[in-house]
Structure 1
C-alpha cells in the first residue's frame, strides 16, 4: 500500500456507524458463548484464527447493478484442521449470514466480535479435511464509515482489503500467514465487466447477466484479493517471457490512460533485472474511478486511483516510480508475504527501495539524497510510529494508520544502511535469494536477518537490532556526518 499524496485528512472510523453496520449474522443457540479468537498478531490481536490451515477459497458474488446494495455471495473454504475443533472461528464482520454447512451438513453459527463462530454437528479431529460453505451477503458501505473492504467507484466496486478488511467482504482466515488458492466468480448485469486476481477460466452468459470466473495459480493472502466490477475495458498486452499483462480501466478514460499502461512491460523487465523473474501468472493495473487515498498491491492486479495518472501536478517520473512501487510488491509482500503485521517493513521498505532506485536510474533522482533526507527525519518517524520492525499499534479507528513513514522511507533507509554495510554486490545477491527462497510463502524479520548474515558471512544481529528495533537511528555506515533531527520535547502539561 502506498498513500496517495493528496491533501486529505485520514478517515476516522465512526463508532456509531460501526455499531450500526456490524456483522448482523443470525444467532443460533450454542452450548457455550461464542468468543472471538486470533492468531496473536501484535498489531491485530483478533485477526486470523487458530486451529486450521486454509487450502483454498471459492468465492461467488452476484452484483445487483447498484454499488450501494448488498451482493449475494457464497464462500466455500477448504481447509485442514491443525488441532481438534468443536468450533471453527472465521473472520467476518459485515454481512448477513443465511446458512452455514460443514462437509455438506448444516451447522449452527453465531457472531462474536468480528468472528463468525461455526459449530459443526460433530467435532473435527486434528488432521481432518473440512469444507465450510457460507451463504451470506457482502455489503458495500460508505467509505466514511470505515477503511477498506468494498470500495465504491463511480461505476461499480473494487476491493481494498489491506490490512484487515477482507473479512468485511467474505468469511475467511484474515491474516497473511495463512495463504491459499482462490477461485472467484462474479455475476453482473449486462453492460458491466468483472475482473479478479489470476487468470480467467470461463465466461458464461445468461439472460441479462454474465458470470466471469478467475483462478489463481499461486497462493494468496486474503488482504490481496481483488474484484473489479464496472463499466470497464480490459486491455491486453504482452510482458517479458510472454507474460500476459491485462489492465482494467474505466472505458470512458481509456484513451488518456493507455500511454501509462504501455510502460508496464518495460517496468517488469527492469524489476526482473534486479530480483529475478516475475513470480505470478499475470500482472496489470486496475485504474479505479475512486477516492481511496492510496494505491494497493493486490496480487496480479494492483489497484490505483485514476487521478494519479490524470492529475497534471504529478511529474511523469514520480507517477512511474509509484507504478514500480506496487509492481515491486508482487515480489515483496505478495509472493513473499509477511508472517505478521510487524514484518510490514519487509513489504513497504523494499517497495520504497525499488521505487527510489527506479527514479534514480530512469530520472536521475539521487537515491543518496533521498536517503540523507530520510535519515534527517528518521528519529521523528521512530518516535511517532515506532522503529521499522516494531511499529506502534494503529490509531483508534484508523487501522491503516500502521502505514506510517517509519515503514516506508524509514525501512528503505535500513536497507540503504545494509547495502552500505555489506556492499552492493552482496546486497543485490541477498535480494534475489530472498525472493527465491521464500517464493509463494511467508517470512519473518528474523528470516531476513538470518539470510543477510548467511550471505555476507557475518553476524549481523547487532546491526539489525539497532536499525530495525532501536529507538534512535544508528550512525549511517559511510556517512558519519549524516544527522537525524530529534523530535521536539514536549512541554510540561502536554
Structure 2
C-alpha cells in the first residue's frame, strides 16, 4: 500500500508507553526522497492506531485519510523527482497483535511488565507509520522511548542519554547510524539487569580484519541470571566465544562502529533486531543464529520476502558452523540430524511462492533447515575454502551490504567466485524444484591385475525429476576406505573405480552432502555384469601425471569423453582398439574420468607431480 515512488532515508520514533491502560503514544518523523512526482505520501499504518495529526517540515498541518491498512497524506505541493519529503505523524492507540507479534504488552515469569516488538515480516505498520517493505531501508533511525520507572528501555544502536521525565517516567534515547529495514527496528522494555562486555578480536583474526574492541550490552530480566547462565551451553556471556567463529567465516561484524547485544522478551523464540537481538533463551545455538543474522538478514536484507531463505538458511548455517567449532561436538551431530530430517519434510520451492501466510513462510523445515542444507550442498560442490570466500564476498559486496539482495544475486556471485556454472543447482534446489532424490546402488568387483575394479551402478528412483549432483561414493576395503567423487545426472549411471585392495562394500554419500532419502539401498552382485559391449577399458598409470593411457579391448572404435569431477566434458575422441595416450596438459590436479557412449565412467586421479 505504501507509495512505491518514495525512498525512506530517516525515521525518528518518539514513543511513550503507558501501562494503565495499556497504550502507545507515538510521534514519528518520516523523511525521504521522491523517486517520481508525488502529490501524496502513502505509508503503511494499521487502522487500529488513531492519527491525531500530520505536520510538514515547517510545522504546518497536512490533510490525511485512512484507506484500508494505510495512512495517506496530502502534500502541501507536488514533490518532484529528487525532492525531499519530510512529515511528522502524531498518533496513539493499543497496537493489535499480528503475525509473529507486532507490538506486545505482556508480563514475564516474575509477573512484571514486558513490552516488546517483533515486526517481521509485516508488523512494523501495527505500531508506527512507515514504508514497511524490506527492500526500502532508511539510512538511519533514532528511537526515543519513555517508560514508567523502574522499567528500562532498549532499542537499536547506541544509547546516547537517559533523562527523567515528569510523571515518574524516564526517556531512553538511541541512535543508529546504519541503514535499517523497518522490520528490524526494535523496542524492548522491562525491569532489566544490564551487563556489559567487550569483544576484542583475537590476534589471528585481527591480522586479516584489523583490530576491534566492540561494546556488548545485555538486558536480562531482573534477577534471572541470563547473562551468567546455569550451564556451559547457556549464558549471554558466551557471545564472545561465538563472535570469532562467525567473523572467521563471514568477515568483519557489519555494525562495528556501534555495538551488539541481547534483550530478553517473552515471545518464545528470538529475533535478530539490528545490533540488539531479542531473546527468550540464552542458549548458545540461538545466540549464534541471531548473531549470524547481523550479516545475513540485517546488513544484507532480502529484497523480497520470497527470498526469506537468504535470512534463515544462512543463520542456521551459523548455528552449525559454531557448534562444529566448539568443545561440544556431540551437539553439532545431534543438531545436524534434527535439521537434516526436518529439511526432508520441506514442501514447495525454497523461494516462496506465497508470502501472505506468515506461519507457512517461517516453516522451519523449509527456509531454515532446507535453506541450510542448500548451503551445505553448495559447500560440498565448490569446496570449503571457496565456500567461505563466497560467504565473505556476499556479506561485503557493496551492491548488497547495508542493502538488499535476491536469490539470483547470491547465485550469480557464487558462480563468479567458484568459476562454476551453478544454474542447474539453484534451479533444482531453490527456484524451481522441490523434493529430493532417492538413490539405490548395485555394485560388483573383479580383479584387474594387481588391483581391483569396482563397478557401481547408481539409480535414481521415485523422483519426479532427475537430480544433477556431484556425489561421493566410498569404497571400503580391509586396508581402509577410499572416496570417489562423480557427477550423477542420469536416472541410471554406471561408474568404475580402481582400488589396490579387494573391496568389501560401498557407501553412497557417506557424509550426507546431499539432501536425499536417508535410506540408500545398496545391492552387492556376486560378479559384476559385463559392460554393455564385448570389451572393456583399462586406465593407467593411476594416479596419472601429464597423460593417461586408455587400453580398449573392444573390437571397434568407441566414442569417449574426458570429463572432470562434476561430469563436464573437457574433450571427446574415438578410442581405437588397443592403447591410446590421452594428454592431460593444462588440467588442474583432481578427479577426472573417461566416460564411454554406453554411460560408463572410469575415474582416475590426476596428480600435480
TM-score range, shorter chain: 0.7 to 0.9
Instruction: Please say which of residues 330-339 and 465-474 is displaced more in the overlay.
Output: 465-474
Partner of 1:413 in structure 2? 373
2:346 to 381, 400, 403: 381
Distance 1:133 1:295, change over 3 A: same
Distance (Å, rounded) in 2 between the aligned partners of 1:293 and 1:190: 25
Change (3 A) 1:125 1:453: same
Higher strand share: 2
Equivalent position of 1:341 in the other structure: 305
Query: Counterpart in 2 of 1:120?
Result: 75
Secondary structure of 1:106 counterpart: coil
| Aligned equivalents of 2:129, 2:287: Cα separation in 1 | 31
The alpha-carbon deviation at position 223 of structure 1 amounts to 0.4
Q: Secondary structure at the match of 1:86?
A: strand
Distance 1:368 1:156 in 2: 36
Contact 1:391/1:402 (8 A) holds in 2: no
Q: 1:213 aligns with which of 173, 177, 182?
A: 173
Q: Secondary structure at the match of 2:290?
A: helix
**Structure 2 CA distance for aligned equivalents of residues 151 and 49 of structure 1:** 27
Partner of 2:585: none
SS at the partner of 1:50? coil
Contact 1:185 1:214 in 2 (8 A): yes
Per the alignment, residue 364 of structure 1 pairs with: 329
Work out the CA distance in 1 between the residues paired with 2:192 and 2:133.
31
Distance 1:370 1:229 in 2: 32
Structure 1 position 472, deviation (Å): 3.0
* Per-residue Cα deviation, 1:315-335 (whole angstroms, up to 9, x for no partner): xxxx21111001100000001
TM superposition shift of 1:257 = 3.9
Q: CA 1:331–1:235 in structure 2 vs 1: closer, same or farther (change >3 Å)?
A: same
1:247 counterpart = 2:247:
no
1:135-185 CA-to-partner distances (Å, cap 9, x unmatched) read: 0015244x5x65321122311311100011001010001011111111001
What are the Cα deviations for residues 42-67 of structure 1, in whole angstroms up to 9, with x where unaligned?
Answer: xxxxxx5301101100000012244x
Q: Against the structure 1 CA distance between its residues 217 and 333, is the aligned structure 2 distance closer, same or farther, given a 3 Å change threshold?
A: same
Aligned with 2:307: secondary structure? helix
CA, structure 1 residues 169+359, in 2 after alignment: closer, same or farther (shift >3 Å)?
same
Matched, 1:223 2:186: no
Measure the CA separation in 2 of the matches of 1:436 and 1:361: 23
Structure 2 partner of 1:164: 122
Instruction: Give the secondary-structure state (helix, strand or coil) at the position aligned to 1:54.
Output: strand
Q: Which residue of structure 2 aligns with residue 194 of structure 1? A: 153
Range that drifts further, 186-195 or 323-332 = 186-195
Local SS of the residue matching 2:435? coil
1:203 aligns with 2:162: yes
Aligned equivalent of 2:228, options 258, 268, 286? 258
Deviation at 1:122, TM superposition (A): 1.9
- Deviation (angstroms), 1:304: 1.1
State the TM-score, normalizing by the size of structure 1.
Answer: 0.80
CA distance in 2, matches of 1:366, 1:455: 32
* 87, 94, 103: which one aligns with 1:150: 103
The structure where helix makes up a greater share of residues is 1
Matching residue within 464, 471, 478 for 1:478: 471
Instruction: Classify 1:184/1:235 alpha carbon distance in 2 versus 1 (closer, same or farther; 3 Å).
Output: same
Residues 28 and 88 in structure 2, CA contact (< 8 A), matched pair in contact too? yes
Query: Residues 272 and 278 of structure 1 are in contact (CA less than 8 Å); yes or no, is this contact kept in structure 2?
Result: yes
The answer to whether the Cα contact below 8 Å between 1:200 and 1:215 also exists between their aligned partners in 2 is yes
Please point out which of 127, 130, 134 is paired with 2:85. 130
Secondary structure, aligned partner of 2:409: helix
What CA distance in whole angstroms lies between the structure 1 residues aligned with 2:469 and 2:420? 18
**Which runs of 5 or more residues in structure 2 are unaligned?**
108-112, 201-211, 230-234, 437-466, 473-507, 519-609
Within 2, Cα distance between the matches of 1:224 and 1:153? 20
Cα-Cα RMSD: 2.2
* Pair 1:442–1:149, CA change in 2 (3 A): same
Retained in 2: the 8 A contact 1:420–1:478? no
Q: Among 277, 284, 290, which residue is 1:320 paired with?
A: 284
Cα 1:245–1:271 shift into 2, 3 Å:
same
Distance 1:156 1:277, change over 3 A: same
Q: Which runs of 5+ in 1 are unaligned?
A: 1-36, 38-47, 310-318, 487-494
- Residue-pair matches, total: 417
Per-residue CA distance 1:263-293 (angstroms, 9 max, x = gap): 01221122112111111121111112x2x23
Of 370-379 and 338-347, deviating more is: 370-379
What is the TM-score normalised by the length of structure 2? 0.65
- Distance in 2 between the 1:373 and 1:230 partners? 34
